[in-house]
Structure 1
Amino acid sequence: MSDAARTLFLVCYDVCDNKLRRRVQKYLMAYRVGGQKSFFECWLTAAELREVRRTLADLLDPSEDRAHVFQLDPRMRRDMLGRATEPVTDVFLIV
C-alpha cells in the first residue's frame, strides 16, 4: 500500500476506563466514514494507519484494553441489519 492510496479498515476497541474510552472515540471520529459505538470503518492511507496504530498503542492500557484493526475488502457486499446505513465512501475532501 502506497502512502497516497486509501484502504478500508475496520477499527474496533474495548476500553475499560470511561474517560479514556471517550478520548479514543473522539480520536477515531476524525478518520471514520461509518460505524457506531466502538466500531469504525475508516479509509486510511499507509501513513494514517501507522499514526492510528501508534496513537492507540500510546493511549491504551495493554493490561485492560484492546483494539483491533482489520483490513476490509471494499468490493465485498455489505449485509446491513436493523437501522444500519451505508457509509459515505464516494467523496473525500483533502484539506
Structure 2
Amino acid sequence: MTDAKRCLYLVCYDVADPRRLRRVHRFLLGYKAGGQKSFFECWLTPAELRHVQDELTRLLDAVTDRAHLFQLDPRQAVVYLGRARPACQTFMIL
C-alpha cells in the first residue's frame, strides 16, 4: 500500500480510569505523527484506521470514556498562534 492512501486523522480521547488511560495512550503512541497529551495526529491507511477503531472500542469503557477520530485535510494551511510552531517538517512512515 502506498503512502498516498494514508489520510491524516486527529484522534482525541478522554478516559476516566488511569489504567485504561495508560493503555489507550500507549496504543496510540504507535500511530502518532504529532500531538500532545490526549490529541494525536495520525497518518492512517484504511486498514490501520479500522484497527485503531476496533482497538479503541475494545480498550474504552462505553459508559465513561470517549474517543473521537476526525479526518483532516492535509492540504489545508496550518495556522500557528502564540508560541505554537511545527512539531516536525517531514516524517517517514516505515
TM-score by length of 2: 0.88
Which aligned runs of 4 or more in structure 1 are off by greater than 4 angstroms? none
Q: What is the letter of the counterpart of residue 31 of structure 2?
A: Y
* Kept in 2: contact 1:34–1:86 (CA 8 A): no
Distance of aligned partners of 1:78 and 1:69 in 2 relative to their CA distance in 1, 3 Å threshold = same
> How far apart, CA to CA, are the structure 1 residues paired with 2:66 and 2:77?
28
**Secondary structure at the residue paired with 2:56?**
helix
* Kept in 2: contact 1:33–1:89 (CA 8 A): no
Q: Which residue of 1 aligns with 2:60?
A: 60
Q: Give the stretch that moved more between structures: 28-37 or 78-87.
A: 78-87
| Identical residues among aligned pairs (%) | 53
Kindly state the Cα deviation for residue 83 of structure 1 after the two structures are TM-superposed.
Answer: 4.1
Gaps of 5+ in 2: none
CA-based RMSD = 1.5
Matched positions, count: 92
Gaps of 5+ in 1: none
**Secondary structure at the residue paired with 2:50?**
helix
Listed one character per residue, the Cα deviations across residues 57-94 of structure 1 (whole Å, up to 9, x for unaligned) are 00000100000000000111112234433243633242
